[in-house]
Structure formats: C-alpha cells, structure tokens
Amino acid sequence: MKPPRFSTTTRLAGVVGLAFLLAFAVLGGFAYFTVSSLLYQDAREVIHTDAEGLTDLHRHGGRPALLAEVEQRLARPDDPDALYAVVESASGKRLTGNLEAPPYGAHARWIRRQGAGEPALPQLLYQRPLNDGLVLVTGLRLRSESGFLAMSVRAAMMAALLAVVLGLLLGGLIARWVSRRLRRLEETAARVGEGALASRVPLDGSGDAFELLALRFNRMLDRIEVLLSGVREATDHIAHDLRTPLTRLRSRLEHLRGDAQVPRATLESAIAEVDQLLQSSSALLRLARVEAQAPADTDPDIALEPLVRDAIELYEPIAAERGIALLPSLEPVRSRGDADQLFQMLINLLDNAIKYSPSGGEIRVSLRRDIDGAHLEIADRGGGIPADERERVFDRFHRLEKHRGSPGSGLGLSLVRAIVHRHRGQIRLEDHRPGLRVCVLLPVAG
C-alpha cells in the first residue's frame, strides 16, 4: 500500500508548523536550562552560607555548640525544607540531624539526590569535614524549585501546543496565499488549453516573484499565439490558394472525358486525386475555423438525440450496402453548442466506423446521460487501433496506413477532436475486443 501523498499546500503548512515547534523547543530548552541553573545556584548559595555559619560555630564552640545549634534549628525550623546531619566520619554514626547517615567521604563536595517519602523531592546537599572527626552536612529539599520547574514545563507544553496550532494556522494562511497567487496561472493555463489563446494572467503590480512569473508566462503565451496564428494563416492561405487551381484543374479534366484520345482510367484516376486534394483543402479550412472559434459557452441549447438519428439515417444506406447493421440506443439529452459542428463530428465518426468494419458486422451507437454529462459511444467490430497509436491518430495528417492506400486525408479525427474541445468535452478511444469504441463526453445544458 502506497503512503498517502499530501498536497503542496498541506506540506507547506506542516513545514511552517514544524519550524514554529522547533524554534519554540530551542528557545524553551534554553530558557529552562537558564532558569534551572539560576534556581540551583541560589540554593547552593543558601546552603553554602548555612554551612559556613555552622562551621564557624563549631570552630569557636566545639562539638557541643554545633550539636545544640543543629537540634535547635530542627526543633524550631526557619525553613521546613532545611536538611542537617552531623556524622562521625570514622564510624558513620549520625549524632544529630534529620538526614540518614550514608557513607559520606572525607572531602568537601556537593551531593544531588532524590529524596524518599511522598512527594519524593530532589535534595541538594553539601558535606564539609570538620577538624575533630565530624562531617557536617547541610542541604535543602528543592520544593519550590521543583514546583516552579514543573509549572514551567506544563506552561511550556501548553505554549508548545499553542505554537503548533499557530504555526499550522500561519502555514495554512501562507499556503492559501501562495495557492491563490498560483491559481491565476493554473486558471489561465486551463483556459488556454481549452482553446482561449487570448487569455492572460492578470497582474496586480506587486512586483514580487509571482508577478515576474506571470509576466514571463504572458510573454510565452504571446509568443505561442503569434506562432500559432502564423501557422493557421499559412494553412488558410495554402488551402485557399490551392482550392481555386484545383477546381479549375478538375473542370479541365471533366472536359477531357469526351476526348477519345485520353485513356479513361488515367483520367478517372486524375479526377479522384484532385477530389481528394479538394477534400483535404476543405477539411483544413473547417479545422482552422473551428480552432479559431471561442468555446461554445454562449451557443444555444440543442437536442443531441435528433442529430444522432439524422447521422445514422444518412449512413444507413452506405452501411446496408456492406451488410453492416447500425444499432442505436439513444436517450434524450440536451447540450450547448453548434449543431452543424456536432453533426460533422458524428458523420466523421460514423464514416470511420463503417470504413473499417468488416462486412456483415455491426456498429452500436449509444447516447445517454449521467451525472458526468452526455455520453456518446460508437463501437465497431473492426481491426481497432493499437494502444500506442490512440493519441497520435488525432494529429493532423496522421494515418495508420503508412502507405496511404485507402482514400482519406488524415484530418477527420483532428476535426473531431477540435469540435469536442470547443464544446468543452472529452474524447477517448478504447478497445472493443475486437474493434474500437469511441467515447465522447459533452457537458449537458444547464
């Protein structure tokens, strides 16, 4: 199972939120370390001052004075978290104090440990050997320090959660802003892909990177439009320029039919070649006109079912001559568009289906409507089209027969695709096993 793929917007929001969390973790860790160090330094100073006072008392009053002072402090404590112990270093026996008598060493040192009881508070102890075989231990239960640090941790966790939420919100806002800026490019590219070559990305004068990208995108579209206009104009001029001499040539060939000196077969072949050139010229002109038109958004609503029936009736005699049955299954559907262009699309598809269907075969023509739109399908039982050729057959002059032995210009499916795209539809070719299924999806009216 593949892991889920998140959109760029989601990833951007996640990255900003993670950046907020990492920044807060670094700052929070530094603050925690700093405050903890200050609190422990204050506790060390208090403990060390207390130890210095007791040491001075022992130096002047000896062991009895030290023991009496410690017992007095334990009986009437100024700080209930204060810890004391006076221990004989040789035997390890505690003489007085509220600390157990672990094996203390003979050198002055700091001890940090976890205390017993409930709650188990950390303890900070300072031991100092005295000159008569005693070890003085002073310390504190770090109740306030632990409470403050615990409260700081809880506050930091709440702040971290808030930072994550704010980071995600900020990341979402940034991602939404970026998506909104990029959506202008996407919408313009979609309109250009649908045939509106004059569309351009609107500029807001901000001068930022998105503005520069939009400018370059518009310049690219200007260049593409100029090149395509040049190609279309050249195609139109060639088609127009060829049409008149070809028509004259055909007329002269027709006049030669009465000349007995001209071979009949040669004359008929020449006339057929001229007719094919005239058909190609006409198809190029129709294709150029369709591609130059705006999308059919403002065209009137038309009923598709009568158009399909008319096209079937037109080709039924041709199909009957070859023993091919046309089997319609039509539902009433309305769409917005040009009736002449849609009828041209239908007869091109039916002509191809009949041309490549075997004698005695059948062609199924269906028209139905669902939530996606109007579905038109024309399925034959011919040889079909290889999968790697199903997109290329829509290109101009592309034909499966490389030798071009059968009549045709290779523009029929190019014109079909141009008409479908102008009506904001989709067309695809599928395997009918055997044969070919042409599926056309058109938006329904309303």
**pLDDT tens readout for residues 40-97:** 788 888 888 888 888 888 888 888 888 888 888 888 877 788 888 888 877 778 888 8
Q: Is the dihedral of CA 41, 43, 47, 50 positive or negative?
A: positive
Q: What's the pLDDT score for residue 375? A: 92
Amino acid at 355: K
Confidence band of 384 (pLDDT split at 50, 70, 90): confident
Q: What is the pairing mode between strands 122-129 and 109-114? A: antiparallel
Q: What token pair was written down for 152?
A: 């700081």
Q: What angle do CA 242, 244, 247 make, to 5 degrees?
A: 105
Question: What is the Cα–Cα distance from 6 to 8, expressed in whole angstroms?
Answer: 7
Q: How confident is the model at residue 404 (pLDDT cuts 50, 70, 90)?
A: very low
**CB atoms inside a 10 Å sphere around CB 430:** 16
Reduced to 3 states, what is the DSSP secondary structure of residue 106? coil
Contact between 260 and 320 (Cβ < 8 Å)? no
Q: Which amino acid is at 233?
A: E
State the chain's maximal CA–CA distance in angstroms.
155
Task: Write phi, then psi, for 196 (nearest 5 degrees).
Answer: -85, 75
Is the pLDDT score of 350 beyond 80? yes
What pLDDT score does 257 carry?
65
In this predicted structure, what is the pLDDT of residue 343?
Answer: 92
407 close to 273: Cβ distance less than 8 angstroms = no
Instruction: Report residue 378: phi and psi, to 5°.
Output: -125, 115
Segment 137-147 mean pLDDT: 79
pLDDT at 431: 86
261 or 437, greater pLDDT: 437
Neighbours of 347 (CB within 10 A): 16
pTM here is 0.49
Average pLDDT on 246-254 reads 67
pLDDT at 441 (0 to 100): 92
Residues 335-355 have a mean pLDDT of 89
**129 near 109, Cβ under 8 Å?**
no
Quick one: average pLDDT of 402-420?
Answer: 70
Which pLDDT does position 274 carry in this prediction? 66
Structure tokens at 101: 């008598």
CB atoms within 10 A of CB 129: 17
Contacts of 205 (CB under 8 A, 6+ apart): 211
Q: What is the pLDDT of residue 405?
A: 47
Residue that wins the pLDDT comparison between 441 and 7: 441
Determine contact, residues 376/425, Cβ cutoff 8 Å: no
Give me the mean pLDDT over the 120-143 stretch: 83
**What are the tens digits of pLDDT across the range 145-172?**
677 667 777 777 777 777 777 777 777 7
Peptide bond into 122 cis (omega under 30): no
Among 12-16, 125-129, 181-185, 200-204, the minimum mean pLDDT is found in 12-16
Kindly report the number of other CB atoms within 10 A of residue 224's CB atom. 12
The answer, yes or no, to whether residue 403 has pLDDT greater than 50, is no
Average pLDDT over residues 105-127: 76
Supply the pLDDT for residue 258: 62
Q: Look at 382 and 15; give whichever has higher pLDDT.
A: 382
Neighbour count for residue 239 (Cβ, 10 Å): 19
Six-digit token string for 415: 């014109």
**Whether residue 309 has pLDDT greater than 70:** yes
Q: All domains of the chain, ordered by start, with CATH?
A: 8-148 (3.30.450.20), 209-292 (1.10.287.130), 296-442 (3.30.565.10)
Element (H, E) at 305: helix 304-321
